Amino acid sequence: MNELRAKDVLHRPLSSNFTADVGKGIIVGLATGIIVALFRWLIDQAMALARIIYPNLHTHPLLLLAYLGITVVVWLLLIAVIGKDQTDLLGSGVPQIEAILMDRHQMQWWSVLWKKFIGGLLAIGPGLFLGREGPCIQMGAAIGQGMGQHLFNADKKEQKLLLSCGVAAGLAAAFSAPLAGTMFLLEEITFRFQIREWLTALAAAISADLMTVLVFGTRPCLWLPIKLNLPKNAYPWLVFFGIALGVLAWFYQYCLLNSHYWYRSWTHLPSKVQPLLPLLLVIPVGWFDVNLLGGSHLLIENIIALPNHWGGFTGLLGILVIYFVVRFIGSMISYGAPVPGGIFMPILVLGALLGAMMATILIHLGLLPDTNYINMVVIGMAAYFGAIEKAPFTAICLLTEMVGTMEQILPMLIVTSIAYTVNDLLGGRPIYAALREEMFGLDEK
């Protein structure tokens, strides 16, 4: 047998395309990070303005008429931006991206980029129950495609690679979560783990996150002060929690996939008028509690603080149920309308409310220390998201990076796995694949 030396086994220096691929991914990530950081900042300012406006509506009712007029103007601008060709501009944009990568759809990247940016602001800014991450992901994909076509003169295969980098960068910048952005691409979009693809996407996600750090700082975007682990005697109750979340995850999928059909059947409104309905309905919700509007990060922080304001079991559980019902119905009305917006944050908020309900019940029964209330909120977010998206790895990575702690990985894994399995047994599907089939027809076998 011939003896080989290192020079016979290793590649020649500078012969790999790795550096070139990563360099292109970094450029896509930097551009995506800048756009998404601006998008995030503008949404934050809009929600801050809402928290000023709504309390004044209580004391100055005449301002309500002016606000209704502004809402109509927002609606007119929104339908003008969306225009007639709505395929790429409605919803999160993730199903459309999947269709592009499957060669079942094409995207006009520049039109999608600026229209999704403006349309997303017009829909999410007034407080519709939509997430920012959907537009961020699609804008990142548009940037990747545009750079591939016009900056790098890439062939079709490399254009898809750079589009994929934009997907990872968009989610990473939306939540300051580069690992989750990369895992989302692999687990929910491409369904493969190729070295060239995931390393380039990770480089894009890291560089995009760097841009958001410059604007928002290094603190996790949903930092929660988890100080204590769950006691071991609480683990058996996680099984029941996972089963309940699995059933409710299937119910969420069922309602979301029917939302467009119900809109057409129940409202009998022209498509141009339909966005006005959720824009008007959020006004009484904001009147009741402005923190219920939008994505909403602030609502999750308020959920953590609720036990300090509602001392009794009945009162606390009652307000959590009310919040859940309002957010669930509002999410369906918002997503069913022909407007841009994602579902990540709405799902996380619902999961946080379910976790808070479970914690409240267990604490009342003496089965969980009240100091672990926050633990169940975080576990509920991860498990509900993981079951609906059918993406457990993305869920764990996302919550770990958003919350800023690794202490809850084991209970999150347990509850997420159970919820995932229950939803699967009930016939649940990966939500974006189901939405893609609803939009573009069933996949060819």
Give the mean model confidence (pLDDT) for residues 104-127.
95
C-alpha span between 65 and 368 (Å, rounded): 48
In a domain, 222, yes or no: no
User: Residue 426: what pLDDT?
Assistant: 97
Question: Which tokens is 331 given?
Answer: 């999410």
Is 346 in contact with 137 (CB distance < 8 Å)?
no
Q: Is residue 226 part of a domain?
A: no
* Full domain range(s) for residue 435: 232-440
Task: Say if residues 383 and 375 touch (Cβ distance below 8 Å).
Answer: no
Q: Of 375, 339, 414, which Cα lies nearest the Cα of 131?
A: 339
DSSP code per residue over 179-204 = HHHHHHIIIIII----HHHHHHHHHH
**For the ranges 169-173, 304-308, 379-383, 384-388, which has the lowest average pLDDT?**
304-308
265 and 352 part of one domain: yes
Contact criterion met (CB below 8 Å) for 164 and 197: yes
> What is the mean predicted confidence (pLDDT) over 354-368?
95
Domain count, the chain: 2
Is the CB of residue 50 less than 8 Å from the CB of residue 290?
yes
Give a yes or no: residue 375 inside a domain.
Answer: yes
Assigned domain for 94 exists: yes
> pLDDT by residue (tens digit) across 26-70?
999 999 999 999 999 999 999 999 999 999 988 888 899 999 999
Residue 445 scores a pLDDT above 50: no
**Is 256 found in the same domain as 202?**
no
- Mean pLDDT confidence for 237-242: 97
State residue 116's pLDDT score.
96
pLDDT in tens, 317-329: 999 999 999 999 9
DSSP H/E element including 40: helix 18-59
Token pair 């089965």: residue: 367
Report the mean per-residue pLDDT for the chain.
Answer: 91
Percent of the chain at pLDDT > 70 equals 98
Instruction: Measure the CA–CA gap between 319 and 303, rounded to whole angstroms.
Output: 10
Q: What is the mean pLDDT of residues 397-411?
A: 85
Average pLDDT score over residue span 270-288? 92
Q: What percent of the chain has pLDDT over 90?
A: 74
Q: Quick one: 42 and 151 in the same domain?
A: yes
Selected residue with higher pLDDT from 150 and 308 = 150
Backbone dihedral region for residue 91 (phi beyond 0: left; psi -120 to 50: alpha; all else: beta): left
* pLDDT for the residue 330: 94
pLDDT of 404 > 80? The answer is no
For residue 367, what pLDDT band results from cuts at 50, 70 and 90? very high
> Once rounded to an integer, what is the mean pLDDT over residues 120-131?
95
Q: Which CATH number characterizes residue 348's domain?
A: 1.10.3080.10
Residue 267 pLDDT grade (very low, low, confident, very high; cuts 50, 70, 90): low
Q: Is residue 353 part of a domain?
A: yes
More confident: 15 or 368: 368
Which pLDDT belongs to residue 270?
Answer: 83
User: Do 361 and 434 have their domain in common?
Assistant: yes
What is the chain's percent helix, strand, coil content, to nearest 5?
75, 0, 25
Question: Is residue 247 domain-shared with residue 393, that is, in the same domain?
Answer: yes
Q: Taking the chain, what is the end-to-end CA distance rounded to the nearest angstrom?
A: 48
In a domain, 224, yes or no: no
Would you say 44 and 212 are in contact if contact means Cβ atoms under 8 Å apart?
Answer: no
Quick one: average pLDDT of 218-243?
Answer: 89
380 shares its domain with 251:
yes
Mark residue 234 as left, alpha or beta (left: phi above 0; alpha: psi -120 to 50; beta: remaining).
alpha
